[in-house]
Amino acid sequence: MKKLLTFLLILSASILTVGCKGEDIKNYAQTNEPLLQTTTTDAWTPTFQLCWNEFIKLVGTEKIEYVKENPQLADELNKQLFTTNDLNEDSYYISVTKQTVKNKKAIEKAIKEKFDEKSDILDSFDFDNIAEEKTNKWFIYSMLLKNFKFIKPYSILESQFFNNDTTQKYKFFGYTNSKNDKSNQPLRESHTESLFYANDNDFAVKFLDKDRKEEMILYLTSSDKSFDELYVELLDKNSKKDEYIQNRKNEMIENYNVKSEIKFKNLYKVPYMHIDEEINYDNELAKKDIKSKDYDKTGNTWVIEKTLQTIKFDLDREGAKLKSEAAMSVVLKTSLEPTRDVIINNLYYFDRPFVIFLKEANKDKPYFAARVKDGKYLVPDNE
């Protein structure tokens, strides 16, 4: 499992860090500055960071500062280690608006026109059906969409176990020098790059998309270090690529008395992947007073009401697709808050365990009862 998560680490980082190679890689490896947002999750994309960057602009301060001690996550986000400058404008959408039904529809229209996509998270937030000037609630939203297509599909390989787990086999794709692989391997080879190969248990390879505009890096490691630490480690090893090559050649000469020219051939075996994660940061960031720009004079504060982020990622022999959304609902609390009607919603959502009864109207006792505590009595959508 750790190796699978490591694949995810480098995929998330590298798809969004395009064109880092050569001397640039060496330079990055020699710095002490973090390259990625610190996170405790197993999957990461920058969509929530992009929302946080917009929140800083909305508040009008250099950083978000809580009235009481800042959460550690807030301090990390304040560093703004990832911005829109790190992305192609065609791949993301950002909106900062009042949280109204009208603006929700505007977001839905915008992402439909730009990406031909629908949102997975907008319905999780409550939007007021009122004019913008009557609310002090703001909605910050971002979507990131990446389609990574290989220049030519790789071969479907035989399913196999993963990480010594013999209970389940998984689908794989790649190129293994098999006679069954009749595709144009030299063409695909031009879209790959060995970053380093220290030994059979320590290596990394880069895949380019068909337009050479995106990169996907796979780094084999079982380390549980942070994303940032592993990425810097990867870059450092890449700077020693030639040293590793020479060490392997010397080993062949010394151990096997090889005297002819030594060449290397790259073969690939990669598992199909499917990730569908939903993350919120409410415990750390929400329901706490945040200083406004004029806090010292007015005492006004901002409050994060709700946060949500989704990460959807699929990888197969044709390429990869990443879709991520993030949103924040924030409120400006002032001493002169606008007055408006208060509407309380009765949410009869039977999406948790419940009991059902049937009875005749003129009878006191039901004639049917059932307890629904899981999917046993529910109908799958594929039936």
What is the reported pLDDT for 306?
Answer: 97
Query: 21-30, 171-180, 352-361: lowest mean pLDDT where?
Result: 21-30
**Tokens 């065609």 belong to residue:** 90
Q: Is residue 196 part of a domain?
A: yes
- The token duo for 75 is 């301090």
Q: Is the pLDDT assigned to residue 299 strictly greater than 70?
A: yes
Per cent of the chain over pLDDT 70 is: 75
- Which of residues 128 and 338 earns the better pLDDT score? 128
C-alpha to C-alpha distance for 197 and 15, rounded to whole angstroms: 21
- 27 pLDDT band, cuts 50/70/90, is very low
In terms of average pLDDT, the best of 187-191, 318-322, 339-343 is 318-322
What is the reported pLDDT for 13?
Answer: 36
* Mean confidence (pLDDT) of the chain: 81
- The token duo for 190 is 């031009």
Q: Is the pLDDT assigned to residue 340 strictly greater than 60?
A: no
**First CA to last CA across the chain, in angstroms?**
32
Q: Is residue 363 part of a domain?
A: no
Domain count, the chain: 1
For residue range 63-92, what is the model confidence (pLDDT) as tens digits?
999 999 999 999 999 999 889 988 889 999
What is the reported pLDDT for 254?
Answer: 85
Q: Is the pLDDT assigned to residue 173 strictly greater than 60?
A: yes
Q: Is residue 29 part of a domain?
A: yes
- Which of residues 356 and 183 earns the better pLDDT score? 183
What is the reported pLDDT for 2?
Answer: 38
What is the reported pLDDT for 356?
Answer: 47
What is the reported pLDDT for 350?
Answer: 56
Distance, CA of 59 to chain centre: 26
What is the reported pLDDT for 136?
Answer: 93
Q: Is residue 22 part of a domain?
A: yes
C-alpha to C-alpha distance for 323 and 247, rounded to whole angstroms: 41
What is the reported pLDDT for 208?
Answer: 86
- Which of residues 341 and 321 earns the better pLDDT score? 321
Nearest of 56, 36, 32 to residue 46 by alpha carbon: 36
- 354 pLDDT band, cuts 50/70/90, is low
Q: Is the pLDDT assigned to residue 122 strictly greater than 90?
A: yes
C-alpha to C-alpha distance for 318 and 201, rounded to whole angstroms: 26
**Contact present, 190 and 208 (Cβ < 8 Å):** no
Q: How many other C-beta atoms are found inside a 10 Å radius of the C-beta of residue 19?
A: 10
Q: Is the pLDDT assigned to residue 180 strictly greater than 90?
A: no
Q: What is the mean pLDDT of residues 15-38?
A: 44
Q: What is the mean pLDDT of residues 207-223?
A: 86
What is the reported pLDDT for 34?
Answer: 52
In terms of average pLDDT, the best of 28-42, 80-94, 104-118 is 104-118
Q: Is the pLDDT assigned to residue 216 strictly greater than 60?
A: yes
- Relative orientation angle of helices 227-238 and 2-15, to the nearest 10 degrees: 80
What is the reported pLDDT for 17?
Answer: 35
- The token duo for 383 is 């039936």
Distance, CA of 361 to chain centre: 53
Phi/psi at 250 (nearest 5 deg)? -65, -35
Structural domain range at position 151 = 1-337
- The token duo for 232 is 């810097």
Q: Is residue 367 part of a domain?
A: no
What is the reported pLDDT for 358?
Answer: 53
C-alpha to C-alpha distance for 382 and 380, rounded to whole angstroms: 5
C-alpha to C-alpha distance for 325 and 143, rounded to whole angstroms: 4
- 31 pLDDT band, cuts 50/70/90, is very low
- 217 pLDDT band, cuts 50/70/90, is confident
For residue range 133-163, what is the model confidence (pLDDT) as tens digits?
999 999 999 999 999 899 989 888 888 888 8
Q: Is residue 129 part of a domain?
A: yes
What is the reported pLDDT for 359?
Answer: 55
- 229 pLDDT band, cuts 50/70/90, is confident
Q: Is residue 383 part of a domain?
A: no
Q: Is residue 148 part of a domain?
A: yes
Q: Is the pLDDT assigned to residue 224 strictly greater than 70?
A: yes
Q: How many other C-beta atoms are found inside a 10 Å radius of the C-beta of residue 162?
A: 15
